Each structure stands twice: as C-alpha cells, then as structure tokens.
Amino acid sequence: MVAIPSKHKSLTLLAGVLIAQLLMLAVQIKRDSHGRLIRVWAISAAYPFERSGSWGFGKIRGVWTHYFALHTTAQENEALRVENDALKLTIAQLQTRAAEADRLATILNFKQTHEEVPIVAARVIAASAGTASRTVEIDRGERDGLKLNMAVITPDGAVGKVIEVFGNTAQVLLLTDKDGGAGAMLVDSRTQGVVGGTGEPMMQMKFVANEDSVGMGEKIVTSGMDKIFPRDIPIGTVVEIKAGNPFKQIRVQPAAKLERLEAVIVLLSQTPVEFKNETQSAPSTSAKQNTTPTTPAAAEKP
C-alpha cells in the first residue's frame, strides 16, 4: 500500500496550482507577454513530431481522398457534365449571337459607307417551301417602304429582287431561281450580258459571244441595265466556261451566300444610283489593263 494524498492536501495543491495559473494569466495580460519561453520549448519539442505527423496525416489524407472518399465523385462528375452541357449550349448561343452581330455590323458598315442610298436592312425569316423556286421571305414589307422589283443585296453581292410585298413582309426572288436574273458585266473585259438562275446553286451568264474574252475567276458585277440593280454590285465569279452556239456557256459562283442568307439589304430607291465599286477602288491587275470594253458588241449588249 502506498500513502494516498489526503483530500485536503490535494485540494490545497489544486488551489495553489489554480492560483499560480491565474497569476500567470494576469501577468501575461498585464505585460502583454505570451509566455514565449514556454512556447519555444513546447514548439521545439513538438516540432519533429508535428512534422512527421503532418507528413503521415498528409499521406493518409491523400490515400483517403484519392482512393476511399470517392462517394461524391460520381455526383461531382454528373454535376460537371451537366454544367459542361449548359456551357456548350451557352457557347453555341453566344457564337450565334456573335455571328449575327458580325452580320449586322457588316450591314451597318455598308449603310454608313453608302449613306446616299436609301436602304433598309431586313432579316430573312423564311425560305421557299419547295425546291421548285428559290425565294426567301424577309421581315420588311410595305410599311417599311418596300415595293415590287426593288433590289435586294448583301454586302457580299446581289441577292435578288422583291417579287411580292405584304404589310410587314416581302418575298424575294433569288438570282439563282430559274426566273431570276440581273444585268451583268464582266469586270475585266467589260463584256455585258445577263446572269440568271438555273434552279441550282450556280448561276449562268448568258449572251456572251464565243469570241468575247472571258477569264476563269473573272468577277462579274451588275451593269445597271436592268433598272433594278445599280451598277457595280458584285454578282459572282466565273467558275466554268464552255463554248456554245452562238453564246458561251458560263457558270457563275454567286458572290452573295444565297444558300445561307440571314440578313439582307433592300435598296429603297429604284432610281439609278452609283455605288462605290470595290473592284474599281481596288482593281486587279487585269482590270487595270482592261478598263474599256474589249469589243464594241459587248458594250452594246443589254
């Protein structure tokens, strides 16, 4: 048996220890000291253990996190997948809006550079219901000043003409329609003719004599002779030339993206207007060399 401290002894010791600590606390508060010596000892003694413990617990956490605590991973993956899908949709919407903004900016730029020409921008809201015709419906109509046979263009080139006008909408016959067409002129040779549709994406330039000089890739612009389109609006590019009887068979790639029209410009004036011809303002080498018609006959063609 050992001597067990009496209740009074332990109580006395407790009181003494507590009082000592209270005094120590008071001294720390009064002197604003933090018992630095004790802390240095304690931290120095604990440091190796803390460091090794930190390493060990870090490893444990790594193992736990990467191998065991994966019950939320599937949920997180699902949430991320949903978020990713939503972001993709948002990106697609933003890309669409950006493309639309680009188109509108192009139209705005066109309008600013052709202030003398009364125009109205329109959005394509529908296309022909069948393949028998190539028309589009736009969201501008009689109330916006549209009339029959007004020219419809894009900054890229000629599109067609208004063939039907309603209060708020109008129908446009595209150049690629079998009944569509425009007075045209080869930029380099100044040879004139008529570009008309064939019901296909490509157009055809008619009434160009076999003896007229036509180059592949040559640009074609409106001649203004049809009283619908002003002069010098791009129509297309020559992509195929065949000899015919009595006229050449010339296939033309439309300058405007007629298959993907979303916004167009309607020229409200049916009086002849002069456009700044980009091909003239920045003519090609061959155009510079051929600023006059090559043949008198070509110049006289409608």
Residue 221, helix vs strand vs coil? strand
CA atoms within 13 A on the CB side of 250: 32
Q: How far is the CB of 72 from another protein (least distance, A)?
A: 14
- Measured from the CB atom, the residue of 17 and 299 that comes closer to another protein is 17
- Measured from the CB atom, the residue of 26 and 80 that comes closer to another protein is 26
Q: How far is the CB of 67 from another protein (least distance, A)?
A: 15
Return the H-helix or E-strand segment holding 70: none
Q: How far is the CB of 35 from another protein (least distance, A)?
A: 4
CA-closest candidate to residue 185, choices 156, 214, 210: 214
Q: How far is the CB of 24 from another protein (least distance, A)?
A: 5
- Measured from the CB atom, the residue of 47 and 166 that comes closer to another protein is 47
Instruction: Report the alpha-carbon distance of residue 134 to residue 277 in Å, rounded.
Output: 27
Q: How far is the CB of 70 from another protein (least distance, A)?
A: 16
Q: How far is the CB of 53 from another protein (least distance, A)?
A: 4
- Measured from the CB atom, the residue of 42 and 126 that comes closer to another protein is 42
- Measured from the CB atom, the residue of 29 and 282 that comes closer to another protein is 29
Burial (Cβ within 10 Å: 0-12, 13-18, ≥19) of residue 206: middle
- Measured from the CB atom, the residue of 59 and 143 that comes closer to another protein is 59
Residue 207 DSSP one-character state: -
What are the phi and psi torsion angles at 226 (to 5°)?
-85, -5
Binding interface with another protein (CB under 8 A): 1-2, 4-5, 7, 9-11, 13-14, 17-18, 21-22, 24-26, 28-29, 34-35, 38-39, 41-43, 45-46, 49-50, 53-54, 57-58, 60-61
Q: Which one-letter amino acid corresponds to residue 121?
A: A
- Measured from the CB atom, the residue of 48 and 167 that comes closer to another protein is 48
CA-closest candidate to residue 249, choices 195, 290, 185, 175: 195
The terminus-to-terminus CA distance of the chain in angstroms comes to 134
Instruction: Report the alpha-carbon distance of residue 35 to residue 24 in Å, rounded.
Output: 9
Q: How far is the CB of 7 from another protein (least distance, A)?
A: 8
- Measured from the CB atom, the residue of 50 and 259 that comes closer to another protein is 50
Q: How far is the CB of 38 from another protein (least distance, A)?
A: 5
DSSP string, 94-149: HHHHHHHHHHHHHHHHHHHHTTTS-EEEEEEEEE-SSTT--EEEES--GGGT--TT
Burial (Cβ within 10 Å: 0-12, 13-18, ≥19) of residue 29: exposed
Strands (E), the chain: 119-127, 135-138, 151-154, 157-165, 170-174, 181-186, 192-197, 203-206, 219-222, 234-242, 249-254, 263-267
